[in-house]
Amino acid sequence: MEKLKQRWGIENNWALVAILIVFAINGSFAAWVAKPVTNLLGLSAETMNPWVYYPLRILLIFPIYQATLPIVGWLFGQFKFFWEFEKNS
């Protein structure tokens, strides 16, 4: 934990815990949002080969994750960290 705090320039344990929670929540949220987006695009596992559908869905999760990370970070009071994290990615 101390290594992460030092690497990310975090001063207290609450901020570290909040950041880790944001990463976890945002990952689940991005995966959850990808399903209706794929449906909106007319893509579904029933109508497509699963070898095509699931890689497309995973590729769709990445931009959703990147776009929502600062928003979820803001909800936990860590917008500044995630804004800088996005700019460095």
Tens-digit pLDDT string for the chain (89 aa): 889 889 999 989 999 999 999 999 999 999 999 999 999 998 988 889 999 999 999 999 999 999 999 999 999 999 999 999 988 87
What range defines the domain where residue 56 resides?
2-88
Query: How many domains are contained in the chain?
Result: 1
Residue 28 has a pLDDT of: 96
Residue 45 has a pLDDT of: 87
Dihedral over alpha carbons 79, 81, 86, 87 (to 10 degrees): 110
Residue 87 has a pLDDT of: 86
Burial label, 23 (beta-carbon count in 10 A; 0-12, 13-18, 19+): middle
